[in-house]
Protein backbone atom coordinates (compact mmCIF):
# COMPACT_ATOMS: atom_id res chain seq x y z
CA UNK A 1 0.00 0.00 0.00
CA UNK A 2 1.11 3.55 -0.58
CA UNK A 3 2.29 5.76 2.27
CA UNK A 4 0.05 8.79 2.81
CA UNK A 5 2.99 11.19 2.97
CA UNK A 6 4.81 9.60 0.02
CA UNK A 7 2.24 7.78 -2.09
CA UNK A 8 3.55 5.36 -4.67
CA UNK A 9 1.68 6.98 -7.54
CA UNK A 10 -0.25 10.22 -8.02
CA UNK A 11 -2.94 10.28 -10.67
CA UNK A 12 -3.73 13.17 -13.00
CA UNK A 13 -6.64 14.48 -10.94
CA UNK A 14 -4.77 14.49 -7.62
CA UNK A 15 -4.66 18.29 -7.25
CA UNK A 16 -8.36 18.56 -8.18
CA UNK A 17 -9.28 16.07 -5.46
CA UNK A 18 -7.37 18.19 -2.94
CA UNK A 19 -9.08 21.36 -4.18
CA UNK A 20 -12.48 19.70 -3.82
CA UNK A 21 -11.72 18.68 -0.23
CA UNK A 22 -11.26 14.98 -0.92
CA UNK A 23 -10.20 12.81 2.00
CA UNK A 24 -7.27 11.01 0.43
CA UNK A 25 -6.28 7.45 1.33
CA UNK A 26 -3.88 4.85 -0.10
CA UNK A 27 -5.66 2.36 -2.32
CA UNK A 28 -4.00 -0.30 -4.52
CA UNK A 29 -0.80 1.75 -4.48
CA UNK A 30 -2.45 5.04 -5.42
CA UNK A 31 -3.59 8.12 -3.54
CA UNK A 32 -7.37 8.14 -3.95
CA UNK A 33 -10.35 10.09 -2.53
CA UNK A 34 -12.48 7.97 -0.21
CA UNK A 35 -14.99 10.82 0.22
CA UNK A 36 -15.52 14.57 -0.12
CA UNK A 37 -16.94 17.02 2.45
CA UNK A 38 -20.57 15.93 1.87
CA UNK A 39 -19.71 12.44 3.16
CA UNK A 40 -20.38 8.94 1.88
CA UNK A 41 -24.14 8.88 2.60
CA UNK A 42 -24.93 12.09 0.70
CA UNK A 43 -22.57 11.16 -2.15
CA UNK A 44 -24.28 7.79 -2.50
CA UNK A 45 -27.79 9.28 -2.60
CA UNK A 46 -26.67 12.06 -4.94
CA UNK A 47 -25.46 9.47 -7.46
CA UNK A 48 -28.81 7.68 -7.29
CA UNK A 49 -30.81 10.91 -7.77
CA UNK A 50 -28.55 13.04 -10.00
CA UNK A 51 -25.02 12.21 -11.23
CA UNK A 52 -21.74 11.29 -9.60
CA UNK A 53 -18.25 11.68 -11.08
CA UNK A 54 -15.70 9.08 -9.98
CA UNK A 55 -11.97 9.06 -10.67
CA UNK A 56 -11.13 5.43 -11.50
CA UNK A 57 -7.80 6.14 -13.18
CA UNK A 58 -6.13 3.56 -10.94
CA UNK A 59 -7.76 0.83 -13.03
CA UNK A 60 -5.60 -0.81 -15.67
CA UNK A 61 -6.27 0.05 -19.32
CA UNK A 62 -4.69 -2.30 -21.87
CA UNK A 63 -4.74 -2.58 -25.67
CA UNK A 64 -4.39 -6.03 -27.24
CA UNK A 65 -3.27 -6.04 -30.88
CA UNK A 66 -2.91 -9.09 -33.11
CA UNK A 67 0.40 -9.92 -34.73
CA UNK A 68 -1.60 -11.90 -37.28
CA UNK A 69 -5.33 -12.19 -37.90
CA UNK A 70 -7.83 -10.57 -35.51
CA UNK A 71 -9.59 -13.92 -35.09
CA UNK A 72 -6.35 -15.40 -33.71
CA UNK A 73 -6.24 -12.65 -31.08
CA UNK A 74 -9.86 -13.29 -30.09
CA UNK A 75 -9.26 -17.03 -29.73
CA UNK A 76 -6.05 -16.46 -27.73
CA UNK A 77 -7.88 -14.12 -25.32
CA UNK A 78 -10.85 -16.47 -25.14
CA UNK A 79 -8.51 -19.28 -24.05
CA UNK A 80 -7.89 -17.36 -20.80
CA UNK A 81 -11.51 -17.33 -19.61
CA UNK A 82 -14.94 -19.04 -19.89
CA UNK A 83 -16.35 -16.20 -21.97
CA UNK A 84 -17.30 -15.87 -25.65
CA UNK A 85 -14.79 -13.43 -27.16
CA UNK A 86 -15.11 -14.60 -30.76
CA UNK A 87 -18.82 -13.77 -30.86
CA UNK A 88 -18.57 -10.23 -29.44
CA UNK A 89 -19.66 -7.72 -32.11
CA UNK A 90 -17.55 -4.68 -32.93
CA UNK A 91 -18.08 -1.66 -30.64
CA UNK A 92 -19.57 -3.84 -27.92
CA UNK A 93 -18.18 -4.48 -24.44
CA UNK A 94 -18.43 -7.64 -22.33
CA UNK A 95 -17.66 -8.72 -18.75
CA UNK A 96 -14.90 -11.30 -18.45
CA UNK A 97 -13.10 -13.44 -15.88
CA UNK A 98 -9.53 -14.74 -15.96
CA UNK A 99 -9.52 -18.20 -14.35
CA UNK A 100 -6.71 -20.30 -12.92
CA UNK A 101 -6.10 -24.04 -13.36
CA UNK A 102 -8.29 -24.76 -10.32
CA UNK A 103 -11.24 -22.80 -11.77
CA UNK A 104 -10.71 -19.89 -9.39
CA UNK A 105 -10.90 -16.26 -10.50
CA UNK A 106 -7.62 -14.38 -11.09
CA UNK A 107 -9.48 -11.15 -11.85
CA UNK A 108 -12.68 -9.84 -13.36
CA UNK A 109 -12.51 -7.32 -16.18
CA UNK A 110 -14.25 -5.57 -19.05
CA UNK A 111 -13.19 -5.97 -22.67
CA UNK A 112 -14.27 -4.31 -25.91
CA UNK A 113 -14.04 -5.34 -29.55
CA UNK A 114 -12.71 -2.25 -31.34
CA UNK A 115 -12.50 -3.88 -34.76
CA UNK A 116 -8.77 -4.32 -35.25
CA UNK A 117 -7.88 -4.71 -31.55
CA UNK A 118 -9.34 -5.34 -28.09
CA UNK A 119 -9.48 -2.76 -25.29
CA UNK A 120 -9.37 -4.24 -21.79
CA UNK A 121 -9.94 -2.67 -18.35
CA UNK A 122 -8.70 -4.63 -15.31
CA UNK A 123 -8.71 -4.05 -11.56
CA UNK A 124 -6.02 -1.81 -10.09
CA UNK A 125 -4.69 -4.29 -7.53
CA UNK A 126 -4.40 -7.02 -10.20
CA UNK A 127 -3.09 -4.79 -12.99
CA UNK A 128 0.57 -5.85 -13.01
CA UNK A 129 -0.27 -9.55 -12.58
CA UNK A 130 -2.93 -9.40 -15.32
CA UNK A 131 -0.58 -7.76 -17.80
CA UNK A 132 2.13 -10.31 -17.04
CA UNK A 133 -0.43 -13.12 -17.39
CA UNK A 134 -1.61 -11.89 -20.79
CA UNK A 135 1.94 -11.47 -22.05
CA UNK A 136 2.92 -14.96 -20.92
CA UNK A 137 -0.22 -16.72 -22.14
CA UNK A 138 -0.64 -14.91 -25.48
CA UNK A 139 2.79 -14.82 -27.18
CA UNK A 140 1.19 -14.04 -30.53
CA UNK A 141 -0.50 -10.91 -29.17
CA UNK A 142 0.92 -7.44 -28.62
CA UNK A 143 -0.04 -6.42 -25.05
CA UNK A 144 0.16 -2.63 -24.65
CA UNK A 145 -0.52 -1.11 -21.21
CA UNK A 146 -2.13 2.32 -21.57
CA UNK A 147 -0.19 4.70 -19.31
CA UNK A 148 -1.16 8.13 -20.66
CA UNK A 149 -4.92 8.15 -20.14
CA UNK A 150 -7.20 8.82 -17.17
CA UNK A 151 -10.42 6.89 -16.57
CA UNK A 152 -13.56 8.56 -15.21
CA UNK A 153 -16.97 7.12 -14.39
CA UNK A 154 -20.08 9.30 -14.64
CA UNK A 155 -23.07 7.54 -13.06
CA UNK A 156 -26.69 8.40 -12.33
CA UNK A 157 -29.89 9.60 -14.03
CA UNK A 158 -28.37 12.95 -15.08
CA UNK A 159 -25.18 11.36 -16.47
CA UNK A 160 -26.47 11.17 -20.05
CA UNK A 161 -27.37 14.85 -20.29
CA UNK A 162 -24.11 15.92 -18.66
CA UNK A 163 -21.87 13.91 -20.97
CA UNK A 164 -23.93 14.64 -24.10
CA UNK A 165 -23.28 18.35 -23.50
CA UNK A 166 -19.53 17.72 -23.82
CA UNK A 167 -19.44 14.72 -26.17
CA UNK A 168 -22.40 14.95 -28.57
CA UNK A 169 -23.68 11.57 -29.69
CA UNK A 170 -23.24 9.56 -26.49
CA UNK A 171 -26.96 9.72 -25.70
CA UNK A 172 -27.59 7.36 -28.62
CA UNK A 173 -25.41 4.53 -27.35
CA UNK A 174 -26.92 1.77 -25.22
CA UNK A 175 -25.78 -0.33 -22.29
CA UNK A 176 -22.41 -2.03 -23.01
CA UNK A 177 -21.86 -0.12 -26.27
CA UNK A 178 -18.44 1.46 -26.77
CA UNK A 179 -17.51 4.43 -28.96
CA UNK A 180 -14.34 6.32 -29.83
CA UNK A 181 -15.29 9.97 -30.31
CA UNK A 182 -12.23 12.07 -31.05
CA UNK A 183 -9.81 11.55 -28.16
CA UNK A 184 -12.57 10.23 -25.88
CA UNK A 185 -13.20 6.49 -25.42
CA UNK A 186 -16.61 5.98 -23.86
CA UNK A 187 -18.66 2.94 -22.86
CA UNK A 188 -22.16 2.92 -21.43
CA UNK A 189 -21.43 0.91 -18.30
CA UNK A 190 -20.40 1.29 -14.68
CA UNK A 191 -20.17 -0.18 -11.20
CA UNK A 192 -23.14 1.41 -9.43
CA UNK A 193 -26.26 -0.20 -10.94
CA UNK A 194 -27.17 3.18 -12.39
CA UNK A 195 -27.18 4.23 -16.02
CA UNK A 196 -23.90 5.92 -16.82
CA UNK A 197 -20.58 5.90 -18.61
CA UNK A 198 -16.93 5.03 -18.19
CA UNK A 199 -14.78 7.55 -20.04
CA UNK A 200 -11.11 7.28 -20.97
CA UNK A 201 -9.46 10.60 -21.82
CA UNK A 202 -5.83 11.66 -22.39
CA UNK A 203 -4.28 12.33 -19.00
CA UNK A 204 -3.24 15.81 -20.10
CA UNK A 205 -6.90 16.68 -20.69
CA UNK A 206 -8.35 14.88 -17.66
CA UNK A 207 -8.52 17.76 -15.20
CA UNK A 208 -10.12 20.14 -17.68
CA UNK A 209 -12.61 17.48 -18.78
CA UNK A 210 -13.49 16.65 -15.17
CA UNK A 211 -14.02 20.32 -14.36
CA UNK A 212 -16.38 20.69 -17.33
CA UNK A 213 -18.36 17.67 -16.18
CA UNK A 214 -18.57 19.00 -12.62
CA UNK A 215 -19.92 22.28 -14.03
CA UNK A 216 -22.89 20.43 -15.58
CA UNK A 217 -26.22 20.49 -13.70
CA UNK A 218 -26.45 17.87 -10.97
CA UNK A 219 -22.89 16.48 -11.25
CA UNK A 220 -20.88 16.10 -8.03
CA UNK A 221 -17.56 14.41 -7.17
CA UNK A 222 -17.94 11.00 -5.51
CA UNK A 223 -15.32 9.00 -3.61
CA UNK A 224 -14.43 5.35 -3.18
CA UNK A 225 -16.64 4.99 -0.09
CA UNK A 226 -19.87 5.65 -1.97
CA UNK A 227 -18.61 3.65 -4.95
CA UNK A 228 -18.43 0.65 -2.63
CA UNK A 229 -21.88 1.12 -1.09
CA UNK A 230 -23.41 1.70 -4.53
CA UNK A 231 -21.92 -1.51 -5.99
CA UNK A 232 -23.02 -3.46 -2.89
CA UNK A 233 -26.62 -2.31 -3.35
CA UNK A 234 -26.31 -3.36 -7.00
CA UNK A 235 -25.14 -6.84 -5.91
CA UNK A 236 -21.82 -6.48 -7.77
CA UNK A 237 -18.69 -8.37 -6.73
CA UNK A 238 -15.54 -6.71 -5.41
CA UNK A 239 -12.42 -8.61 -6.40
CA UNK A 240 -10.38 -9.82 -3.45
CA UNK A 241 -13.47 -9.88 -1.26
CA UNK A 242 -16.48 -11.48 -3.00
CA UNK A 243 -14.41 -13.28 -5.63
CA UNK A 244 -10.80 -14.47 -5.61
CA UNK A 245 -8.51 -17.30 -6.72
CA UNK A 246 -10.46 -19.81 -4.61
CA UNK A 247 -13.88 -18.83 -6.01
CA UNK A 248 -15.41 -20.42 -9.12
CA UNK A 249 -17.55 -18.24 -11.37
CA UNK A 250 -20.49 -20.58 -10.79
CA UNK A 251 -20.51 -20.41 -7.00
CA UNK A 252 -20.06 -16.64 -7.33
CA UNK A 253 -23.35 -16.45 -9.23
CA UNK A 254 -21.62 -15.28 -12.41
CA UNK A 255 -23.01 -17.97 -14.69
CA UNK A 256 -24.65 -15.22 -16.80
CA UNK A 257 -21.11 -14.31 -17.91
CA UNK A 258 -20.48 -17.80 -19.34
CA UNK A 259 -22.07 -17.82 -22.78
CA UNK A 260 -23.53 -20.94 -24.43
CA UNK A 261 -20.56 -21.31 -26.79
CA UNK A 262 -18.22 -22.03 -23.87
CA UNK A 263 -20.47 -24.44 -21.97
CA UNK A 264 -20.86 -28.19 -22.37
CA UNK A 265 -22.15 -28.87 -25.85
CA UNK A 266 -21.25 -25.38 -27.04
CA UNK A 267 -19.29 -24.56 -30.18
CA UNK A 268 -16.10 -23.97 -28.17
CA UNK A 269 -16.79 -25.92 -25.00
CA UNK A 270 -14.12 -25.57 -22.29
CA UNK A 271 -10.54 -24.93 -23.35
CA UNK A 272 -9.94 -22.35 -20.60
CA UNK A 273 -7.98 -22.76 -17.33
CA UNK A 274 -10.01 -24.65 -14.73
CA UNK A 275 -12.64 -25.74 -17.25
CA UNK A 276 -13.15 -29.12 -15.55
CA UNK A 277 -14.24 -27.50 -12.28
CA UNK A 278 -16.31 -24.76 -13.88
CA UNK A 279 -18.18 -27.13 -16.21
CA UNK A 280 -18.73 -29.57 -13.34
CA UNK A 281 -20.16 -26.76 -11.20
CA UNK A 282 -22.46 -25.78 -14.06
CA UNK A 283 -23.66 -29.36 -14.50
CA UNK A 284 -23.99 -30.43 -10.87
CA UNK A 285 -24.17 -27.22 -8.88
CA UNK A 286 -21.39 -25.99 -6.55
CA UNK A 287 -21.13 -26.79 -2.85
CA UNK A 288 -21.67 -23.15 -1.89
CA UNK A 289 -23.28 -20.08 -3.46
CA UNK A 290 -22.95 -16.32 -3.19
CA UNK A 291 -26.19 -14.90 -1.81
CA UNK A 292 -27.70 -11.61 -0.76
CA UNK A 293 -28.23 -11.14 2.97
CA UNK A 294 -30.47 -8.79 4.97
CA UNK A 295 -29.64 -8.58 8.67
CA UNK A 296 -32.52 -7.94 11.04
CA UNK A 297 -32.38 -4.62 12.85
CA UNK A 298 -30.01 -1.77 12.04
CA UNK A 299 -26.58 -3.26 12.77
CA UNK A 300 -24.56 -4.00 9.60
CA UNK A 301 -22.83 -7.36 9.20
CA UNK A 302 -19.51 -6.69 7.52
CA UNK A 303 -16.90 -8.84 5.81
CA UNK A 304 -15.71 -11.74 7.96
CA UNK A 305 -18.91 -12.30 9.95
CA UNK A 306 -19.45 -16.05 10.28
CA UNK A 307 -22.86 -17.44 9.35
CA UNK A 308 -24.65 -20.33 11.03
CA UNK A 309 -27.82 -22.35 10.49
CA UNK A 310 -30.47 -21.96 13.16
CA UNK A 311 -29.26 -25.22 14.74
CA UNK A 312 -25.75 -23.76 15.11
CA UNK A 313 -24.11 -25.50 12.15
CA UNK A 314 -21.50 -23.28 10.43
CA UNK A 315 -22.71 -22.60 6.88
CA UNK A 316 -20.73 -19.66 5.51
CA UNK A 317 -19.30 -16.19 5.85
CA UNK A 318 -20.05 -12.59 4.84
CA UNK A 319 -17.73 -11.21 2.15
CA UNK A 320 -19.16 -7.67 1.81
CA UNK A 321 -21.50 -5.78 4.06
CA UNK A 322 -22.55 -2.36 5.24
CA UNK A 323 -25.45 0.06 5.35
CA UNK A 324 -27.40 0.59 2.13
CA UNK A 325 -28.36 4.28 2.02
CA UNK A 326 -30.88 3.81 -0.82
CA UNK A 327 -32.67 0.92 0.88
CA UNK A 328 -32.19 2.47 4.35
CA UNK A 329 -31.12 -0.82 5.88
CA UNK A 330 -28.05 -2.97 6.46
CA UNK A 331 -27.23 -5.29 3.55
CA UNK A 332 -24.56 -7.87 2.86
CA UNK A 333 -23.48 -10.67 0.57
CA UNK A 334 -21.54 -13.82 1.28
CA UNK A 335 -21.14 -17.51 0.61
CA UNK A 336 -23.31 -20.18 2.21
CA UNK A 337 -23.68 -23.92 1.76
CA UNK A 338 -26.05 -24.64 -1.12
CA UNK A 339 -28.64 -26.27 1.15
CA UNK A 340 -28.98 -22.95 2.99
CA UNK A 341 -28.91 -20.64 -0.06
CA UNK A 342 -32.64 -20.46 -0.84
CA UNK A 343 -34.23 -17.02 -0.71
CA UNK A 344 -36.09 -16.61 2.57
CA UNK A 345 -33.78 -18.87 4.59
CA UNK A 346 -33.05 -17.52 8.07
CA UNK A 347 -29.43 -17.75 9.21
CA UNK A 348 -27.54 -16.38 12.20
CA UNK A 349 -24.60 -13.99 11.92
CA UNK A 350 -22.01 -13.90 14.70
CA UNK A 351 -21.78 -10.19 15.46
CA UNK A 352 -19.38 -9.44 18.31
CA UNK A 353 -20.24 -12.68 20.08
CA UNK A 354 -24.00 -12.45 19.55
CA UNK A 355 -25.77 -14.53 16.92
CA UNK A 356 -28.32 -12.31 15.23
CA UNK A 357 -30.84 -13.23 12.50
CA UNK A 358 -30.05 -12.57 8.84
CA UNK A 359 -32.24 -13.57 5.89
CA UNK A 360 -31.08 -14.83 2.50
CA UNK A 361 -32.51 -12.45 -0.11
CA UNK A 362 -32.45 -11.76 -3.82
CA UNK A 363 -29.99 -9.32 -5.39
CA UNK A 364 -29.70 -6.59 -6.46
CA UNK A 365 -30.93 -4.83 -3.34
CA UNK A 366 -31.58 -1.69 -5.41
CA UNK A 367 -33.13 -2.03 -8.90
CA UNK A 368 -30.72 -1.26 -11.75
CA UNK A 369 -31.46 1.48 -14.29
CA UNK A 370 -29.26 0.47 -17.25
CA UNK A 371 -30.32 1.91 -20.64
CA UNK A 372 -30.69 -1.21 -22.78
Residue 313: CB atoms within 10 A of its CB come to 12
**Mean pLDDT calculated for residue range 154-169:** 98
207: pLDDT strictly greater than 50: yes
Q: Are 120 and 108 in contact (CB under 8 A)?
A: no
**Does pLDDT of 6 surpass 90?**
no
Q: Give start and end residues of each alpha helix (H) in the chain.
A: 14-19, 40-49, 70-78, 127-137, 159-166, 203-214, 224-233, 275-284
Sheet of 51-55: strand order equals 178-181, 184-187, 196-202, 149-155, 51-55, 219-221
Q: Is the omega angle on the peptide bond into residue 364 within 30 degrees of 0, that is, cis?
A: yes
State the pLDDT at residue 167: 98
Q: Which domains does the chain have, with CATH numbers?
A: 14-58+148-233 (3.30.1360.120), 287-372 (2.40.30.110)
Q: Taking CA 302 as the corner, what is the angle to CA 296 and CA 303, rounded to the nearest 5 degrees?
A: 135
Residue 9 has what pLDDT?
A: 72
Mean pLDDT of 109-115: 98
CA distance 258 to 256: 6
Would you state the pLDDT for residue 11? 81
Distance CA 349, CA 351 (A): 6
Spatial separation of the C-alpha atoms in residues 147 and 204, rounded to whole Å: 12
Concatenated DSSP letters of 256-318? GGS-GGGSTTSTT---STTHHHHHHHHHH--SEEEEEEEESSS----TT-EEE-TTS-EEEEE
Report d(CA 271, CA 21) in Å as an integer: 49
Among residues of the chain, what percentage have pLDDT more than 70? 98
pLDDT in tens, 20-53: 999 999 999 999 999 999 999 999 999 999 999 9
**Is the pLDDT reported for residue 118 higher than 80?**
yes
- pLDDT per residue as tens digits for the range 315-349: 999 999 999 999 999 999 999 999 999 999 999 99
Does position 168 have pLDDT exceeding 70, yes or no? yes
134 closest CA partner among 111, 114, 113:
111
Does pLDDT of 7 surpass 80? no
For the chain, counts of helices (H) and of strands (E):
8, 19
pLDDT band (50, 70, 90) for residue 5: very low
Region 305-322 average pLDDT: 98
Q: Do 107 and 98 form a contact (C-beta atoms < 8 A)? A: yes
Q: What is the mean pLDDT of the chain?
A: 96
* Conformational region of residue 319, where left means phi above 0, alpha means psi within -120 to 50, and beta covers everything else: alpha
End-to-end Cα, the chain, rounded Å: 38
Residues 289, 282: Cα–Cα separation, whole Å: 12
Beta-carbon-side half-sphere exposure of residue 146 (alpha carbons within 13 Å):
23
- Please give the Cα distance from 139 to 68 (Å, whole number): 11
Give yes or no for residue 58 having a pLDDT over 80: yes
> Region 94-112: what's the mean pLDDT?
98
Q: Give me the residues paired with residue 197 across strands.
A: 154
d(CA 137, CA 73): 12
Confidence of residue 8 (pLDDT cuts 50, 70, 90): low
Amino acid sequence: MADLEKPELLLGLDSLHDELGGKMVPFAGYRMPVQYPDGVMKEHLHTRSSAGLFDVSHMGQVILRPRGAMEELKLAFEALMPVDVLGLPQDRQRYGLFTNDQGGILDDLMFTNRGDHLYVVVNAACKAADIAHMMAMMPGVEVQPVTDRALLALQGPLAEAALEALVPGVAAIRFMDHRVIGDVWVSRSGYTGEDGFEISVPEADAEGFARKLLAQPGVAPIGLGARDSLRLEAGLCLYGHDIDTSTSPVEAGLTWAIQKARRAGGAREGGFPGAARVLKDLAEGPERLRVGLKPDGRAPMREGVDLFAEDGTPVGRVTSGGFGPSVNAPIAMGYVARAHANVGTTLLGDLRGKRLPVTVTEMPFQPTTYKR
